[in-house]
Amino acid sequence: MRGMEIATRGLEAMVLQQAIIANNLANVNTAGFKGDALLLKSFRSVLKNTMDDTGGSLQVDGVAMKSGQGDLTPTSGTFDVALQGEGFFVIDTPDGDRYTRSGNFTLDSSGQMVTQNGLAVLGENGPIKIEGGTVEINSQGDIIVNGKKSNTIKVVDFDKPYQLKKTGNNLLDVASDDIQPGNKPGQTELVQGFLESSSVSVIREMVKMIEALRAYELGQKAILTQDYLTNKAISEVGKTR
């Protein structure tokens, strides 16, 4: 039954691929969203498993977040901020610091800068509170209120490849406690009145969706063929008796 087992694992991988693609497409208009990609084990490792008699089928190696820069889209929003370069904004949550590329911030009723879900945006001097009328955010993240610097938007980065996991609401957390954020990269600039677009390409995702569907259909045919051959073999054995 090895043939059916291999084909079934391939179907499971394609189901996961379709789920990842669907989530990517659902967030094509989410500011700062980074799409995910399914990682499959290399041919060499799969071949070794086959020779060790431990598998040989299509094997999932994990799901990775794409970290490319999205296009910057003008919004003219005072508290819309995009990152041009690497790094992440730091958000204060009940579960600790979380990280995001989504800079569509706003002010709550107390004048505190928050995310669309009401979570505080952290500055170098703690949560950012705006008290004044004219607000300017420069390329270094300094917040100038009525001509005076009040705080600096905190931006951090991590060693690559990024070992971050998605926690919902376009927020990221470290994959393990021993991963610590570093300082903002020197080349990174903050751009007020802009938002970073999602890194998802609709065309690429649709192509991958079609490829996954075709691979799934081939896997189904392989299982049906295996089932037919098994039934025929059982039938022929029955006749010889």
Q: Tokens standing for 174?
A: 């470290």
User: Does 241 or 164 have the greater pLDDT score?
Assistant: 164
105-140 tens-digit pLDDT: 999 999 999 999 999 999 999 999 998 788 999 999
Q: What is the pLDDT of residue 54?
A: 47
Compute the distance between CA of residue 114 and CA of residue 105 in angstroms, rounded to an integer: 6
Instruction: Report the b/e string of 58-96 with b at 16+ CB within 10 A.
Output: bbeeeeebeeeebeeeebeebbbbbbeebbbbbbbeeee
What is the pLDDT confidence band of residue 44, given thresholds at 50, 70 and 90? low
Rounded Cα distance, 14 and 63, in Å: 13
How far from 149 is each of 79, 123, 129, 136, CA to CA, in Å?
15, 12, 12, 9
Q: Contact 142/149 with Cβ under 8 angstroms?
A: yes
85: pLDDT strictly greater than 50: yes
- Give the per-residue pLDDT at 55: 53
Q: Cα Rg for the chain, rounded, in angstroms?
A: 25
pLDDT given at position 76: 87
Cβ-proximal residues to 112 (8 Å cutoff; 6+ apart), any chain:
120, 127, 128, 129, 130
Query: Rounded to whole angstroms, how far apart are CA atoms 159 and 185?
Result: 11
For 14-21, what is the mean pLDDT? 94
Q: What is the pLDDT of residues 86-105, one digit of tens each?
A: 999 999 999 999 999 999 99
pLDDT at 45 over 80: no
* Confidence grade of residue 143 (pLDDT, cut at 50, 70, 90): very high
Average pLDDT over every residue of 72-96: 96
Q: To the nearest whole number, what is the mean pLDDT of the chain?
A: 89
Q: Is the pLDDT of residue 46 over 90?
A: no
Q: pLDDT > 70: what percent of the chain?
A: 91
77 band by pLDDT with thresholds 50, 70 and 90: very high
pLDDT for 2: 73
Question: Do 152 and 57 touch, CB atoms closer than 8 A?
Answer: no
Q: Minimal CA–CA distance to 33: which of 7, 64, 74, 70?
A: 70
Residue spans of the domains in the chain: they are 2-67+200-240, 72-196
Residue 12 predicted with pLDDT over 70: yes
User: 47: pLDDT confidence band, cut at 50, 70 and 90?
Assistant: low
Question: Each residue of 196-228: pLDDT tens digit?
Answer: 999 999 999 999 999 999 999 998 898 888 888
pLDDT at 3 over 90: no
